Amino acid sequence: MTATPARRRELLDTAAEVFAAQGYNATTVRRIADEAGMLAGSLYYHFDSKESMVDEILSTFLTELWAGYDAVLEAGLGPRETIEALVTESFREIDRHRAAVAIYQKESKQLAALPRFHYLTDSQTKFEKAWLGTLERGVADGVFRTDLDIRLTYRFVRDTVWVAASWYRPGGQHSPEEIARQYLSMVLDGISVVT
């Protein structure tokens, strides 16, 4: 007999997969239940609502993400190394929580409108502070170019990394670290040959 928290995880993983594939709104509770081999009503023994399922999926993911990010940010690295570490950590999270990341990308804007999901906005703010701050520090330190709009750069780097969740498939050709390495190489040095 599976212990309750394990069963919960299992169900949430199933739900996350379906949410990621079909979108939160387009996913019916019945579909999740089907995938989990039970009837729709039975899910309500485990969860209060469909909303609380995404909630748990996203908050679990964000908790882990911030554990990793905070560790990086508190490590006292230089701006370039911080960026490198954040990107690498991000791809690791994508690897571990692909579905959750995809949901986050697609649905967080909608969900953030609901009070219970305000933490998404908070996270967004913290996120921006971390990345933008690091980039600014890098510009000040002379490691990043000064001729670029810093907010544009921020969006560029941020999106560049996270959209990867839309095509990334765990167990593919490249490890998350390898993908991070190539992405960083492109972001930092560009794709053109230096002449």
- The residues that touch DNA, with contacts defined as CB under 7 A, are 1-4, 7, 27-30, 38-42, 44-46, 48-51
Binding partner of 191, given DNA, a second copy, none, CB within 5-8 angstroms per partner class: a second copy
Find the shortest distance in angstroms from Cβ 26 to a second copy: 5
| 17: Cβ contacts below 8 Å, ≥ 6 apart | 35, 99
CB–CB of 99/157 below 8 Å?
Answer: no
The 10 Å Cβ neighbour count of residue 103 is: 27
Binding partner of 2, given DNA, a second copy, none, CB within 5-8 angstroms per partner class: DNA
How far, in Å, CA of 47 to CA of 158, rounded? Answer: 33
- Considering beta carbons, is residue 129 or 145 the nearer one to a second copy? 145
Q: Which of 99, 66, 86 is nearest to 166 (CA)?
A: 99
Residue 161: both structure tokens together: 């990394």
Distances 53 to 19, 56, 104, 123, 192 between C-alpha atoms, Å: 10, 5, 13, 19, 44
Find the shortest distance in angstroms from Cβ 18 to DNA: 10
Find the shortest distance in angstroms from Cβ 116 to a second copy: 17
- The residues that touch a second copy, with contacts defined as CB under 8 A, are 22-23, 25-26, 80, 106, 110, 142-145, 147-149, 152-153, 155-157, 159-160, 163-164, 166-167, 174, 179, 182-183, 185-194
Q: Indicate the helix (H) or strand (E) that contains 98.
A: helix 98-111
Residue reference for tokens 């000064």: 146
Binding partner of 143, given a second copy, DNA, none, CB within 5-8 angstroms per partner class: a second copy
Find the shortest distance in angstroms from Cβ 55 to DNA: 11
Binding partner of 80, given DNA, a second copy, none, CB within 5-8 angstroms per partner class: a second copy
Binding partner of 4, given a second copy, DNA, none, CB within 5-8 angstroms per partner class: DNA
CB–CB of 101/94 below 8 Å?
Answer: yes
